[in-house]
Amino acid sequence: MLRPGHLDGAKIAQLADELPATVPLAGDNLRLSVNAFFVTDGTRSVLIDTGASNVWHDPTMGLIHDALDEAGIDRAHVTDVAITHKHEDHVSGLIAPDGSEAFPNLERVWIGAGDTSVFTGRLEPIRDRVVPVSEKVAINDWTTAIPTPGHTPGHTIYHLRSGTGHLLAWGDTVHVPTLQFDRPNVSWELDGNQSQARAARVALLEQLTQPHHFVAGAHLDSPGIARVTPSDDGYALEYLAPPIG
């Protein structure tokens, strides 16, 4: 029986022994996808998170600029970036690996007010376009930023609405999808405020069980878009597209 608790590296290894088929490991580390999402209605668009660029020195990371090219999206069309929180695997792609600004026509970078301190050093050139989010606020006609502190003080989710449904881009609400849907009380070691993060996760999972609701998760298996349903003990997720690699 796994109890609510603090999910650190040792615990993950232990859980992997108990549930070998469900916890993907790379060496001793948890294997995680790192996703970003570009959403457009043809006129307005928003890029949610930007990946790690070359900061983590990992050849499997920092591919957002190539991914945008592959999708036929011109980086010059990105005017609004919505950051879920300040960690390097979410903000670093604002700067390309060659040190230039990744999005030449960037006008606004939305980020929780509690996380704006990250815009120093390498990210200093972006600081003048930062829009701090301290309460629920509309970014455009169909995107609302909603503060959900816990993982970090400024953690923010983005609620996107269309004529047919709702998409919640929830950042780092879940890090280990194979465990934390079944057991939403299990927290991640890097959740800065464990109880706040746990409460936010439970509330969002419950919200996502409503009809026509979908989640876009930064660390769900890539490409990271899924439906959430209630299960016996917690929740189940059903990916809309099969996970890559």
Residues near Zn ion (CB under 5 A) are 89, 172
Residue nearer to Zn ion on the CB measure, 89 or 115 = 89
Residue nearer to Zn ion on the CB measure, 92 or 143 = 92
**Token pair 């269309």 is at which residue?**
162
Residue 113 neighbours by CB distance under 10 Å? 16
Shortest Å, Cβ 178 to Zn ion:
16
Cα separation of 50 and 130, whole Å? Answer: 15
Residue nearer to Zn ion on the CB measure, 79 or 225 = 225
Cα separation of 90 and 204, whole Å? Answer: 20
Shortest Å, Cβ 240 to Zn ion:
21
Cα separation of 82 and 79, whole Å? Answer: 10
Shortest Å, Cβ 216 to Zn ion:
13
Shortest Å, Cβ 99 to Zn ion:
23
- Among 132, 234, 138, smallest CA distance to 177 is for 234
Residue nearer to Zn ion on the CB measure, 172 or 221 = 172
Cα separation of 25 and 76, whole Å? Answer: 37
Taking the CA atoms of residue 16, residue 199, residue 138 and residue 220 in that order, the dihedral angle to the nearest 10 degrees is 10
Instruction: Tell me the residue nearest to Zn ion as measured from the CB.
Output: 172
Shortest Å, Cβ 87 to Zn ion:
5
Residue nearer to Zn ion on the CB measure, 91 or 130 = 91
Characterize 183-217 residue by residue with b for buried, 16 or more Cβ atoms within 10 angstroms of its Cβ, and e for exposed.
bbebbbeebebbebbbebbeebbebbeeeebbbbb
Shortest Å, Cβ 32 to Zn ion:
8
Residue nearer to Zn ion on the CB measure, 172 or 182 = 172
**Token pair 């800065």 is at which residue?**
192
